Each structure stands twice: as structure tokens, then as C-alpha cells.
Amino acid sequence: MARNQALFDAILGGKRKDAARITQECVDANINVQELLNESMIPAMREMGDRFSRNEVFVPEMLIAARAMKAGLEIIEPLLVQSGMEPRARVAIGTVKGDLHDIGKNLVAMMLRGAGYDVLDLGVDIEADKFAEAADQGVKIIMLSALLTTTMQYMKEVVDHLEGRNDIKIIIGGAPVTADYAKEIGAHAYGRDANDAVKIVDALVGVA
């Protein structure tokens, strides 16, 4: 599927109502929402990041683009999460302390729900003891997201905090994170994107 330029432009331009309207039109036309996400919506956020790096836009523009992205995501969410199966396992996800980026984390949560997982979304700016509390509530997989090179360092603190909990698996992800970094800090796995994260969770709970 080619890029939907109008949707790309609406998200990049922070036009929330247009983004919602165009997304709804695509859903009504039975356009594959996964492709819409990968070809038009996520690339718009990537372009926003590139422009920010070149000092062509600033934080307010990133913020309004994020709002437009979220308006589109709200429309496709029911299609991504409709699964109707018994929960396969309970997983917790959160963006680590100091980090407010939540679009990628929300996407991972949506895809996991769509794959039949019971997802406890802890939110953003989450400290290690909150993840530990989730582990005490029957969660078997803890998922950490970070978008900043500064905040990804905190993932190690969470891993260290959960040391000795052999019943818990920790998956990390987010743009600056790598598989090597996961190994280095002792996390069990690294998820490249939301689809990859689902595959990894499937493998860890023995569904794959």
C-alpha cells in the first residue's frame, strides 16, 4: 500500500481533526489499518523527529503532531484489539522514569491486547518499584519502553530492582534501544517494534 499523503500531512501538521477524519474514512473504506499505521502514520512521526533534529520544528510542533497521531490511533485501536479470546497471560508495560513518550508504548499495548494478552498499562515516567508492584500482582512479563538515550539507562535500574525474581521476564524496546543493550543490562529480550514485541511475548509464554 502506498502512503496516504493526506493522513501523513495531517499528522505531521498537527491537524488533529483532519487526522481523525481521514483515518475514519480509511477504516470505512476497509483499508488495512496495519498498513496505514506502518506506511503513513508512523512515518509522519519519524519525519517530525527528523525535522526536530534539524531544528526546523520545536517541542510544541512535536506535541501537536503527537495529538494528531493519537486521534488517528484512537480510531484504529478497536480494529487492532478485537480478538475475543481468553487472555493468554498478564503483561505490564510502561515508559520508564523521566520519559514521557507514550505513542510507541501504547501501540505495543494495543497489539498485545489484539493478540489476546491482558495488558496492565502503567503509563509514563514509571519508577522501578511500580514495575515490581506489577510483578506482585500476577504479571509474568514486564515491558519497558524508552525513547531517550538518557532515560534508557534507567532500564538497568528496573532490571536490577527485579533481580532474583526468576518468575519474571523483562522485555525492553524503544527507538534508541538495541538487542545488545538488552543483553548488556540483563533484560530477557528486545522488541524492535510492536509486532516484534508480540512475537517475543508469544515465544516467552510458549504460544509461538
Binding site for ligand B1M (CB under 6 A): 42, 45-46, 48-49, 52-53, 59, 62-63, 65-66, 98-105, 107-108, 143-145, 147-149, 171-176, 191, 193-194, 197
Q: Which is nearer to ligand B1M, 84 or 125 (CB)?
A: 125
For residue 46, the minimal CB distance to ligand B1M (Å) is 5
97/33 Cα distance (integer angstroms): 31
Helix axes 5-12, 16-28, angle to 10 degrees: 150
Q: Which is nearer to ligand B1M, 11 or 26 (CB)?
A: 11
For residue 100, the minimal CB distance to ligand B1M (Å) is 4
For residue 4, the minimal CB distance to ligand B1M (Å) is 16
DSSP string, the chain: ----HHHHHHHHTT-HHHHHHHHHHHHHTT--HHHHIIIIIHHHHHHHHHHHHTTSS-HHHHHHHHHHHHHHHHHHHHHHH---SPP--EEEEEEETT----HHHHHHHHHHHHTT-EEEEEEEEE-HHHHHHHHTTT--EEEEE--STTGGGHHHHHHHHTTT-TT-EEEEESTT--HHHHHHHT-SEEESSHHHHHHHHHHHHT--
For residue 12, the minimal CB distance to ligand B1M (Å) is 10
For residue 28, the minimal CB distance to ligand B1M (Å) is 23
Record the cell numbers describing residue 180, joined without a space: 545488545
For residue 78, the minimal CB distance to ligand B1M (Å) is 18
Q: Which is nearer to ligand B1M, 193 or 202 (CB)?
A: 193
Q: Which is nearer to ligand B1M, 84 or 137 (CB)?
A: 137
Q: Which is nearer to ligand B1M, 84 or 175 (CB)?
A: 175
Q: Which is nearer to ligand B1M, 22 or 201 (CB)?
A: 201
